[in-house]
Every structure is written in C-alpha cells, then in structure tokens.
Homo-oligomer: A and B are copies of this chain.
Amino acid sequence: MKQLDVYSIARCEHSVIIVFLQLILISVFLVCTIYDVQADASETRNSLHYVYGGFKPESNSIYKFYNMFQDVHVMIFVGFGFLMTFMKRYGFSAVGFNFLVAALLVQWAILCNGFYHMDENYKIPISIVSLLKGDVAVATVLISMGAVLGRTSHMQLIFMGLLEIAFFSFNEYIAAKFFIVTDAGDSMFVHAFGAYFGLAVSFVLTRKQKLTDEERSMEASSYMSDMFAMIGTVFLWAFWPSFNSAELEGDAQHRAIINTYLSLTASCVVAYAFSSAFTPHHKFDMVHIQNSTLAGGVSIGTMANLMVQPFGALIIGSMAGVLSVIGYCFITPWVDNKLKVKDTCGVHNLHGMPALLAGAGGALFAFLASEDSYKMGLYQIFPAMASPDLKATDEYPLLEGGLGRTSAQQAGYQLAALGCTLGIAIVSGLFTGLFVSSPLTSGQSRNGAYKDDPCWLIHEHEHPTELPLKVSTVSEHVTDIHPPTIVTTPQI
C-alpha cells in the first residue's frame, strides 16, 4: 500500500509536469510559429487570381502532400500503436503510451525541425510539410520506445522522447548541411537512429532494473494480444510505400513506391520461410510475422528512389527478411544474455540491422549512379554530385550548381552519414538512458513491468465477471437450449 501511495503522489506530479510541458509548447508556438504562406489568409496571393500573381488553389501544397501525410499518420498512431500491443497484459500501455508520446512529441518535433528552418523574421512557417516531418520524427521515438517497452513509465518515455527529438533534429541538420546524402525513406535518420538510440537507453535501464520472474512471465503474448498486434503489422505494411515516398515527386516517387512495395512482399515471404525453419516443430512464430515481414520497408528506405530495378528491390527485401528472423532467433537472445541489453520489441531486428543494410545499399547505389542511368535527374537526387558551375537552363530549370562530387565520393559521404548517425544515436542514447533512469523519473518502471495494472484503471468488475459473465450468458442461452443445471456445475 505504502509504495502505491508514494507512487500515486509521484503520478500526480506527473500530471502537473505534462500540463506544464504543454503550456511551454503553447508559449513557444505563440512566439515562434506562423502559418506558411499557403495556409495564411492574410497572404494576398491566396485570394488573388493567378493571372495577377495569385496562387492557383489547386497548386496548394496540401493537395500534393495530404494523402501521403494521412498514410504516414495512420502508420504512427494505428500501426506503431497496435504493433506494440503483443504483450498479454500491456495492451492499454502499448497503444495508450504510443498515443500520448506521439501527440506530445509531434508538437516538439515541429518546433525542433523548424528551429533549423526559420524565416527572415525568426518565425517557423507551419505547413502540411511541417506536420509530415513531425510525424516522421516521432517515428524515431516510437522505434526507441519499442526497445524499452514495458520497463519504462510514460514519463520516462516522454523525457526520452523530448531529448531524442532534439538529438534527432540536430543529426538531420548535420547530415543535410555537411553530408548532403539521399535517404528517401529515412532508414538512416529515423530507423537506424531510433533503433540504436533505444538500445543505448535500454543498455542503461537494463543495468538499473532487476526484473522478477513474475514480471518476466508477463512479457509473453497471448492469443488475443497477438491478434491485435497484427492490426498494426498489416497497416504498417500496407502504407509503408507512402512513408518511403512521401517527400518525393514525379518518377522518383513512382519508383520509390514500386521499390518499397516489391521489397516488402519479398521480406514478408522470406520472413515466413525462415520463421518456420528456425522455430520448434517448424511452426510460424508470431514475433517474426509481426515484425520481420516489415523489414523490407526499412531495408529499401535509403535506396527507394534509386535505380535498384524491380528485381533489386526484391533481393534487398529478401535479405532484410532473413536478417530480421535470424536477429530474433539468434542475435537478440545473445544481446540479451551476453550484452545484457533487453530489446522488448526486437527493434534491432526490425529497424536496426535492416537500416544498416539500407545505409550500405544506399552507398553502393550511389557509387553506381551516373548520368547514364539518371540523366539530369541525378543532380536532383544527389545535388552534391552536380559540378559547381552547373546552371539552370530552359530545358532543365531545376538544375543548380553542387560540389562536383564523384559517385565514389558520394558513396563515401553516404557511409559517413550512417556512421555519424550511429555515433550520435548511441552517445545521446546512453546519456538519455542515464537521465531517464535517474530516481526522478524511474519511480513507476519498477512497479510491475509489462503490466497495465499499475498505470491503468482496470474496472474491478472485469475479473470477477469472467465468471458471472460466463454464467449469465450461458444461462440466458440455456433458456432456449440446455437445462439450466449446467450453469451450476462446479468446474466452470
């Protein structure tokens, strides 16, 4: 009881902290944000006819991005949320914390990204692209959350996310400013960063926590919880092509969608085959089906807009499928036992290793890239490969001078960006782990891991009713079928 009281006091503080955070965010939005010109009624061009210099209504960026944004939005709140509901008594927390953390952090992510792209008045213009980037940035946190799921309170997740978004935005800024690489599906900046940041946090947490056997037993799934997790899997799988192509256009977007679709089909097929091969009695393991089938979306990410060719996309997806199942069967247990790093959802297998594959593949296909295979489109995908004196022409109005990198140099920069991302992710993850495992925030996490009960109101009548329920329903039923005596049989 005592601990519960202490705990509940702590929790009340938590409410205050969350409200306080929201108020700070509102203040920063007040000071720093405005509507983008395309969403701003005070922008004359929005009402002026286009022949007089106004915008065409149909050219508003909302039409270009909104549908892709919605697909990504569903991935973040439905896909990630339900994918994490696989534990038998952690469903409320999985989908619920995903919801809270994402809703709070998209606001913070919009600001963090905006700080690097302010206008001349030091204002952040908010557009549909801001919302899309906010959702994508939050995916990074949700991936890290998968590594520590069930062993962290919602407050620890919020603090982790606030720090992670800041480091994530910094890393993205560095990459955009110095490395100038392509990463259409954000496999490096979102998936690799999120996975290794999360594992670094977990590295610290695992050392500070001792799980009881009863707690460990709760980490398992149940038949129903696995069914709910499949909702997340299929939505993530179906909408992943939108995630990898949301910020592209024209043939690059078309190509990214084809590549991602094909890569996902191959990773799904291969994940099933290896799941059955590596599982006792050659059965399928839901863990692999829920996760490894998605690895192809990560592994093609960096290359999604490159000329990998349809068969190339299938190969990349197949490799990710194998890699991911092997990870679940052999690497994760080893990391858990030897390195003492717990990885609740196996993000290393779904996001970590496939993202490394994506980064390496991106470098390979950058090395293979040439004007021959990309024509002038090469300099839109790899602007740094344009020669410094390249100029826009009537035929190619989008051309501009670059750094004159060779394809080999570009490949090197792709690898450098991956290395830098891993470095920042791991270092900042360790730091964040120390912070969130400090007594200040770690109160709840020891209070029953992998269980909703410490954190969620479970209506008391639920458990009792499991008996009354059966009785009542049978009895009603009985009135038109069996003799009521059945109801009173002791074994029910």
Asked if A168 lies at the interface with its beta carbon under 8 angstroms from chain B, I say no
B8 with A281: CB separation less than 8 A: yes
Identical chains bound together, number: 3
A22-B270, A36-B254, A47-B377 are known; give 19 further A-B pairs, CB within 8 A.
A11-B282, A29-B314, A35-B310, A40-B307, A47-B376, A49-B394, A60-B249, A62-B253, A82-B231, A88-B469, A100-B268, A103-B265, A107-B266, A284-B455, A286-B456, A451-B473, A453-B473, A463-B470, A466-B470
Known contacts A104-B265, A480-B4; A221 and B459 CB within 8 A of each other: yes
Residue contacts A-B, CB under 8 angstroms, 18 given: A4-B281, A12-B276, A14-B276, A16-B277, A29-B311, A62-B254, A70-B71, A103-B266, A103-B268, A222-B462, A224-B227, A227-B228, A231-B231, A279-B457, A280-B480, A281-B457, A284-B455, A453-B476
Q: Is the interface of A mostly helix, strand, loop or mixed?
A: helix
A277, closest chain B residue (CB) = B15
5 smallest CB-CB distances across A and B, nearest first, come from A11-B282, A57-B250, A103-B268, A39-B254, A29-B311
A128 with B1: CB separation less than 8 A: no
CB distance from A212 to the nearest CB of B (A): 11
Sort chain A's interface into a size bin: 35 or more
Residues of B within 8 A of A309 (CB): 30, 33-35
Known contacts A44-B375, A128-B257, A455-B284; A272 and B492 CB within 8 A of each other: no
Asked if A26 lies at the interface with its beta carbon under 8 angstroms from chain B, I say yes
Asked if A474 lies at the interface with its beta carbon under 8 angstroms from chain B, I say yes
Asked if A380 lies at the interface with its beta carbon under 8 angstroms from chain B, I say yes
A283 with B456: CB separation less than 8 A: yes
Asked if A411 lies at the interface with its beta carbon under 8 angstroms from chain B, I say no
CB distance from A37 to the nearest CB of B (A): 8
Segment touching B, from A172-180, A187-195, A233-241, A356-364: A233-241
Interface residues of A in 88-115 (CB under 8 A from B): 88-89, 91-92, 95-96, 99-100, 103-104, 106-107
Asked if A264 lies at the interface with its beta carbon under 8 angstroms from chain B, I say yes
A130 to B283, alpha carbons, bound, how many Å?
Answer: 33
Asked if A373 lies at the interface with its beta carbon under 8 angstroms from chain B, I say yes
Specify which of B270, B396, B469 is in contact with A19 (CB 8 Å cutoff): B270
Known contacts A49-B396, A55-B250, A284-B457; A39 and B258 CB within 8 A of each other: yes
Residues of B within 8 A of A38 (CB): 251, 254
Residues of B within 8 A of A438 (CB): none
Asked if A131 lies at the interface with its beta carbon under 8 angstroms from chain B, I say yes
A269 to B226, alpha carbons, bound, how many Å?
Answer: 27
Known contacts A250-B57, A477-B458; A469 and B42 CB within 8 A of each other: no
Specify which of B16, B57, B310, B394 is in contact with A249 (CB 8 Å cutoff): B57
Residues of B within 8 A of A26 (CB): 266, 311, 314-315, 318
Residues of B within 8 A of A473 (CB): 89, 451, 453, 458, 463
A151 to B49, alpha carbons, bound, how many Å?
Answer: 55
Asked if A209 lies at the interface with its beta carbon under 8 angstroms from chain B, I say no
B238 with A12: CB separation less than 8 A: no
B22 with A217: CB separation less than 8 A: no
CB distance from A27 to the nearest CB of B (A): 8
B286 with A457: CB separation less than 8 A: yes
A39, closest chain B residue (CB) = B254
Asked if A331 lies at the interface with its beta carbon under 8 angstroms from chain B, I say no
B273 with A223: CB separation less than 8 A: no
Residues of B within 8 A of A85 (CB): 227
A381 to B8, alpha carbons, bound, how many Å?
Answer: 48
Specify which of B19, B70, B254, B459 is in contact with A220 (CB 8 Å cutoff): B459
CB distance from A479 to the nearest CB of B (A): 6
A459, closest chain B residue (CB) = B220
